[in-house]
Chain A
Amino acid sequence: MKKITSARVSQLLFLLAFLVLFVRTEYRGSDTISAAINSFFRADPLVALSYLAATRSFTWLLFPALLTALFTVILGRFFCGWICPLGTVLDLITVRIKKSAPIRLLRGNLKYWLLLPILSCSIFQLNLSGLLDPIAILVRALTFFFYPLFGDAARSSWVELYRLLGERRDLLAPAFGLLRDHLLPFRETFYPLAFLSAVMFLAILFLERYESRNWCRNLCPLGTLLGLLGRFSPLKRAPSKLCGDCQACRSLCPTSFDADLLQKEECILCLECQRACPKDRVRFSFARPGSDGRDFLPERRVLLGGLLTGVFLAGSFRFRRPEAQSRLLRPPGVKGEGEFLEKCVRCGECMKVCLRGALYPAIAQAGVVGVFTPVLTPRLGYCEYNCTLCGQVCPTGAIPNLPVPEKRRAVIGKAVFDKNHCLPYARKTNCIVCEEHCPIPQKAIRSELVEEIGLDGKRIRLQKPYLVEELCNGCGICENVCPLEGKSGVEVFAVKDKTPLQESASVAEQEKGGGAEDPYR
Chain B
Amino acid sequence: MKRRAFLKLVGLSVLFHHWLLRGVSAAQGPVVAVAEGKDYARVTRNAIAALGGMGRFVKKGDLVVVKPNMGWDRTSEQAANSNPVVVRAVVEEALRAGARKVKVFDRSCNDERRCYVNSGMAAALKGMKNVELKYIETERFRKVALKGKALSEWELYDEALDANVFINVPVAKHHGLTKLTLGLKNVMGVMGGNRGSIHKHIDEALADVNSVLKSHLVVIDATRVLVAHGPQGGSLADVKFLNKVIASSDIVAADAYATTLFGHRPEDISVTVAAHRRGLGEMDLKKVRIVRA
Contact = CB atoms under 8 A, between A and B. Distances in A.
Given A173-B134, A386-B114, A436-B175, A431 B200 contact: yes
Contacts of B229: 441-443
A12 interface: no
Interface string A428-451: 011111011111111100010000
A432 B199 contact: yes
Contacts of A439: 73, 110, 232, 234
A387 B137 CA distance: 23
B232 A436 contact: yes
Quick one: which of B194, B199, B233, B238 has the most chain A CB within 10 A? B199
A173 to B, nearest CB: 7
Interface string A250-266: 00000000000000000
Interface residues of A, number: 41
Nearest to B134: A173
Given A162-B140, A386-B73, A430-B202, A463 B111 contact: no
Interface in A141-197: 159, 162-163, 167, 173, 186
B234 A440 contact: yes
A510 B237 contact: yes
B176 A436 contact: yes
Nearest to B181: A436
Contacts of B162: 167
A385 interface: yes
Contact of A447 (B176, B195, B197, B238): B176
B12 interface: no
Contacts, number: 95
Nearest to B232: A439
B152 interface: no
B93 to A, nearest CB: 23
A366 B118 CA distance: 36
Contacts of A481: 109, 196
B236 A431 contact: no
A324 to B, nearest CB: 28
Contact of A441 (B201, B231, B238): B238
B176 A511 contact: no
B132 to A, nearest CB: 8
Interface string A394-436: 0000000000000000000000000000010001011111011
B232 A387 contact: no
Given A384-B111, A432-B199, A441 B233 contact: yes
A439 B74 CA distance: 10
Contacts of A482: 196
Given A162-B139, A430-B200, 14 more contacts: A159-B137, A162-B137, A167-B162, A384-B114, A386-B73, A386-B114, A387-B111, A435-B176, A436-B175, A439-B73, A440-B234, A483-B194, A510-B235, A511-B236
> What 7 pairs across the A-B complex have the smallest Cβ distances?
A483-B196, A441-B234, A429-B200, A441-B235, A510-B235, A433-B196, A483-B197
28 contacts: A27-B113, A162-B140, A355-B114, A384-B114, A385-B110, A386-B73, A386-B114, A387-B114, A429-B201, A431-B196, A431-B200, A432-B176, A433-B196, A433-B199, A436-B176, A436-B177, A436-B232, A437-B109, A437-B232, A438-B232, A441-B229, A441-B238, A442-B235, A443-B229, A507-B235, A507-B236, A510-B234, A510-B236
